[in-house]
A and B are shown apart, each in its own frame.
Chain A
């Protein structure tokens, strides 16, 4: 369903098999119009070929806009208006002749009056001359009337062509207006979905980072147990052969593999979604431009028919490809074992990580403390906290992160930033608070 804009094949055909002069436009004529073309006179084909001159060597031509441009070219007007101008010159020359004849007639009338007053002969001759001039003036006026009729006829034909051409362009522009609106709406929705998916990907990566921290903590604890065995007099070999340690090592290796696979999966899904959305944006882009091009072509006219210029202001901002979000693994993990002998391993906290609910609460406190007055788009005075306070249940619903999930402050900020992006909140409103949040212990 890619737009068919390229006439290269046609150009190649044209080059490989040279056509007679009037047939130059033939390869560029639409299939539906081929029948009409074959019936056209060679003169008309020559005119079309001259009009299509620009199309021959233009690669990747946007055909509909290209042909519309040709239809709006002064070429058509020049032909008609050139002839009308010649007729107008002719008409003007008759007008000038009539002026001279009128003056001559006036002189003859004066002379005739004078002769009559002084009683000399020749009045009748003068009257005859006057009559001849009147007849000539009348004949010229008839010719001028006919010429004016022909000029008006030409003007009307120019207008008729222009009106038919405008009707086609208008129909297409209206169609674009009608169709582009839902397309723009859908592209907006897709961008919103993309932002939501990005938020979910970041949240999942943060949850995976938490699990990596837990694995790291298990590894550290295992090392300490191995040291204990060695201090208790066991040999390296004995420790390595210990079935429980072997099982634990296998489990740790398997977990690292699982985590890596999950990270790769998140990255792959994110890439796939971004690719899909970028592709549809690329596909829609020429159509969005085309509407503007059509309007520009239509507005570029030699005759003013009083049609309004339309505007199409919103321009697509391309999709930003998101990058991966590598995260530092945490160092410690926590847990508990309700066993006969109480294990001494502490699984309560991971180093540099805090609970999601604690971080959210601390963030909201900072938002409230640093709230500023701003004027919203409708000119109302508002507090930044009205936009920035994060309802815990809302962010948990959007991210699927539980209150007890642990993360670093940096990862929490990544989630918050993407959450605000989904909410369409300007970064300038909270950028300062990020620095304070990161620096605060």
Chain B
């Protein structure tokens, strides 16, 4: 209001109220647009994120598998080595002069 002291007529007040209602409706429209834009863009970016996470998950699964294989192999190697050591010891016990 330009002049707060001026007493407005009924018609002027109604016009002001209608103007405010229109403005409120504009705000409502604007909030809806903001909401729609936000959903649309975040959905799109989140899809990209989900795809990236999926690829990382797949790579980590492959690393898990490689871990598992290496674990089995290294253990088997140690078991074979333990068996070799035992056999050598048995051999020495059975034939002590062999070292001389």
Pick the interface stretch among A10-18, A40-48, A382-390, A432-440: A40-48
Least distance between B35 CB and chain A CB atoms (Å):
6
Least distance between A255 CB and chain B CB atoms (Å):
6
**Would you list which residues of chain A between 24 and 66 have a CB under 8 Å from chain B?**
29-30, 32-33, 36-37, 40-41, 43-45, 47-48, 51, 63-64
Report the nearest A residue to B12, measured CB to CB. A341
CA of A127 to CA of B8, assembled, Å: 148
Residues of B within 8 A of A284 (CB): 56, 60
**Would you list which residues of chain A between 206 and 235 have a CB under 8 Å from chain B?**
207-208, 211, 214-215, 218, 221-222, 224-225, 227-229, 231-232
Q: Mark A51-88, 1 if CB is under 8 A from B, else 0.
A: 10000000000011001101100001001100100110
- B31 near A258: Cβ-Cβ < 8 Å: yes
CA of A401 to CA of B25, assembled, Å: 20
A168 with B20: in contact, given A37-B79, A161-B77 (CB under 8 Å)? no
- B49 near A168: Cβ-Cβ < 8 Å: no
Verify if A132 is at the interface (C-beta below 8 Å from B): no
Q: Interface SS of chain B: helix, strand, loop or mixed?
A: helix
Least distance between B21 CB and chain A CB atoms (Å):
6
Q: Mark B22-65, 1 if CB is under 8 A from A, else 0.
A: 11111110110011011001100110111011011101111110
Report the nearest A residue to B88, measured CB to CB. A83
Q: How many residues of A contact B (CB 8 A)?
A: 109
- A41 near B86: Cβ-Cβ < 8 Å: yes
- A196 near B45: Cβ-Cβ < 8 Å: yes
Report the nearest B residue to A347, measured CB to CB. B23
Report the nearest A residue to B34, measured CB to CB. A207
- B21 near A273: Cβ-Cβ < 8 Å: no
Contact of A244 among B17, B71, B78 (CB under 8 A): B17
**Would you list which residues of chain A between 168 and 194 have a CB under 8 Å from chain B?**
168-169, 171-172, 175-176, 179-180, 182-183, 186-187, 189-190, 193-194
Q: How many residues of B contact A (CB 8 A)?
A: 72
- A251 near B81: Cβ-Cβ < 8 Å: no
Residues of B within 8 A of A366 (CB): none
Pick the interface stretch among A97-105, A275-283, A300-308: A275-283
Verify if A394 is at the interface (C-beta below 8 Å from B): no
Contact of A276 among B4, B16, B25, B53 (CB under 8 A): B53
- A79 near B85: Cβ-Cβ < 8 Å: yes
CA of A7 to CA of B27, assembled, Å: 60
CA of A342 to CA of B26, assembled, Å: 18
Least distance between A312 CB and chain B CB atoms (Å):
14
Residues of B within 8 A of A115 (CB): none
- A269 near B42: Cβ-Cβ < 8 Å: yes
Residues of A within 8 A of B35 (CB): 262, 265
- B67 near A64: Cβ-Cβ < 8 Å: yes
Query: Would you list 16 pairs from A and B whose C-beta atoms are within 8 A, ordered by A residue?
Result: A29-B79, A43-B86, A44-B83, A47-B86, A147-B99, A183-B60, A186-B56, A222-B20, A224-B4, A232-B10, A248-B17, A248-B20, A251-B24, A262-B34, A284-B56, A336-B19
Residue positions of B touching A, CB distance < 8 A: 1-2, 4, 7-8, 10-28, 30-31, 34-35, 37-38, 41-42, 45-46, 48-50, 52-53, 55-57, 59-64, 66-68, 70-79, 81-86, 88-90, 99-100
Q: Which 5 A-B pairs have the closest CB atoms?
A: A337-B19, A43-B86, A47-B82, A343-B19, A44-B82
